[in-house]
Amino acid sequence: MKKVVFLSTCVRLTSLTAAAAMFGIVASPAMAAGTLAGTSIDNTATASYDGPGGNRVDVPSNTVSVVVDELLDVVVDSANPGDVAAQPGDAAQVLKYTITNSGNGPEAFSLVANPAVTGDDFDPSLVQIVIDSNGNGAYDPGVDTVYVAGSNDPVLSPDSSVTVFVINGIPTTATDGQRAAVELAATAKTGSGAPGTSFDGAGEGGGDAVVGSTGADGSDSGFYIISAASVALNKTATIVDPFGGNQPVPGAVITYTLTATVTGSGSATNLAVTDAVPSGTTYIGSSITLGGNAQTDAADADAANITSGTVTVNLGDVAGGQTRVVTFQSRIN
């Protein structure tokens, strides 16, 4: 019995989050912005009494007015439903966030992404921040607007939100199961700081701007999880000769067994096993099996085919921890 180990290969995966990205954002409940900045609160009371003529007399008071100043508040939320699966070496993995103006005036916000959060397993490399300019909640490369600080800072109406994507590269050194955080911070352009800090005359409508409970500076982290899969392919051959032995003589039948084993927390997508029928042998028709089930030789609905002397078996997506076994036979000439 001969045993030949042919190859061991690593198969790259596509992101598990592609499907999730198709759905719109679930709008997070925004804090009520309250009365809009610049609104005048006017109070007038009326006194009434029986006048000397017996008729009712109404006497209005003066009107006192208070103009509502601008409250600066912002909330940032990670908008991915969970960790985003990524593979070592990915060039552009997307994290999604929502930024909500929870203040009471229109406000521009500057954005900063920090991929070097401490306490996680690795540091992604920031590629760019992209604003969901078409508002569909999904990252559309080339369509959505790349954020340039100071140039296109998003301006949000009170209580409204915008979706922002942070695109990062994944280092090739990251290993299966490692997790990394990327923090996105949004800061009110008018100013931020301790709640109650006031920026005189800087508010909407010429009033003051006052920092609210959020400090006018919000941040949240999204996470990548490395979900890699490795595929090991093992090939063995057994020989049965016409004389009941196992010698490689003309007329002997060789049964090849190809075993694909997937390991890791991810899955191998569109995994295919191919093997050329060795020269000096002749393929035995309809001898391909997958998991013990016979396959036809034609390229048709089943997984296997033989074309130009090469056996191909399409295994589809195979999750980590699973094994697929393919066999075929050929006869020595």
Partner 1 sequence: MKRALASAVALVAALAGMTAPAFAGASPINLTSKVFVEREIVDSSGRRSVVLEQPSKVVPGDRLVFVLNYRNASQQPAARFMVTNPMPSAVAFERTQDGSEEVSIDGGRNWGRLVDLRIPLAEGGVRAATPEDVTHIRWFVPQTLGAGSGGKLSFRGTVK
State yes or no: residue 91 binds partner 1 (CB under 8 A).
no
The yes or no reply on residue 157 touching partner 1 (CB under 8 A) is no
Site for partner 1 contains 45 (CB under 8 A): yes
Interaction of residue 53 with partner 1, rule CB under 8 A: yes
Q: Quote the DSSP letter at residue 206.
A: G
CA dist 225 and 180 (Å) reads 7
Minimum Å gap between C-beta 101 and partner 1 is 13
298's enclosing H/E stretch is none
Residue 50 within binding range of partner 1, rule CB under 8 A: yes
Kindly tell me which residue out of 7, 19, 29, 54 binds partner 1, with binding defined by CB under 8 A: 54
Query: Got the DSSP string for 62-117?
Result: PPEEEEPPEEE-EEEEE-SSSPEEE-TT-S-EEEEEEEEE-SSS-EEEEEEEE---
Q: Is position 69 an interface residue for partner 1 (rule: CB under 8 A)?
A: yes
Residue where the block lists tokens 């050194």: 173
Piece in contact with partner 1 (CB under 8 A), picked from 17-25, 44-52, 162-170, 279-287: 44-52
Residue 69 burial (CB count, 10 A): 23
What is the C-alpha to C-alpha distance for residues 73 and 99, in angstroms, rounded to an integer?
11
Q: Which two tokens stand for residue 14?
A: 């596509």
User: What is the C-alpha radius of gyration for the chain, rounded to an integer number of angstroms?
Assistant: 34
Q: Among the candidate windows 60-68, 80-88, 136-144, 162-170, which touches partner 1 by CB under 8 A?
A: 60-68
Considering only the stretches 58-66, 176-184, 214-222, 275-283, report the one whose residues sit in contact with partner 1 under the rule CB under 8 A.
Answer: 58-66
According to the binding rule CB under 8 A, does residue 68 interact with partner 1? yes
Q: Which of 8, 9, 48, 274 binds partner 1 (CB under 8 A)?
A: 48
Q: Is 251 left (phi over 0), alpha (psi -120 to 50) or beta?
A: left
User: Least distance (Å) from partner 1 to the CB of residue 199?
Assistant: 11
| DSSP secondary structure letter of residue 205 | G
Residue from the set 57, 155, 299, 319 that interacts with partner 1 by CB under 8 A: 57
Q: Which token pair is 34?
A: 């309250």
62 contributes a contact to partner 1 by CB under 8 A: yes
Q: Considering only residues 5, 9, 24, 42, which one is a binding residue for partner 1 as defined by CB under 8 A?
A: 42
**Which of 35/145 has CB closer to partner 1?**
35
The answer to whether 310 contacts partner 1 (rule: CB under 8 A) is no
Q: Does 35 bind partner 1 (CB under 8 A)?
A: yes
If one asks whether residue 290 binds partner 1 (CB under 8 A), the answer comes out as no
For the bound state, the minimum distance from the C-beta of residue 200 to partner 1, rounded and expressed in Å, comes to: 9
Beta-bridge partners for 40: 67
Tell me: does residue 202 bind partner 1 (CB under 8 A).
no
Q: What is the phi/psi pair of residue 20, to 5°?
A: -60, -35
68 close to 104: Cβ distance less than 8 angstroms: yes
CB of 158 closer than 8 Å to CB of 101: yes
Length of the chain: 333
State which of residues 13, 86, 181, 210 lies at the interface with partner 1 (CB under 8 A).
Answer: 210
Q: Which stretch binds partner 1 (CB under 8 A): 26-34, 86-94, 218-226, 243-251?
A: 26-34
Q: Which of 103, 77, 96, 68 is nearest to 214 (CA)?
A: 103
| Residues engaged in binding partner 1 (CB under 8 A) | 32-35, 39, 41-54, 57, 59-64, 66-71, 104, 198, 208, 210, 212
